[in-house]
Structure 1
Amino acid sequence: MIHHTFIFLFLSFYFISCSNNYDEVKNINKVELVPAGLTKDFVLKYTDSAVLKATLKSPLNIDFTNQPFPYSEFPNGLEIEFYDEIE
């Protein structure tokens, strides 16, 4: 009888002591999106065969090329100018 009481008390304390905050457990595998780079006054000139084809300008570029699906964000807008070849 004492043996069963000891086992019962041990298991009771064991299960009572094991508690986790649900929010902490939920955030264990959460992936944070940390940008690879941040550029102010961003200007990109696209050329093909030494001929300027387009210019991209933005006050702010947030670069996420370190993600499984690489992308860039332009939260303050993006201005694109396309150029035609002069013949």
Structure 2
Amino acid sequence: MACDACFSDVFKQKIGRCKTCMWQLTVLSLIGWPTWFYLFADTPKSVNSIALFFFCCAFSGLLLLHLIVLCWRKLTGRQ
């Protein structure tokens, strides 16, 4: 995903800096996990349940990676 604040689409340069990506991942995680728990937690072996579960894990994992790199950049002074 490219946004106006990011000058390059290189993944290593954008991770932890792209606020648009972080907000999108936050919203997707906040929508995805309750949806999975409400609709598919009782049938965890169905295809729809597994697909939504993996999408939610991907959203949350990428958000976590963004936040870890953001904290690391703030602590080391690399902006």
Higher helix share: 2
Greater Rg over alpha carbons, structure = 1
Flag the structure with higher strand content. Answer: 1
When the two structures are superposed, what TM-score results if normalisation uses the length of structure 2? 0.27
Give TM-score scaled by structure 1 length. 0.25
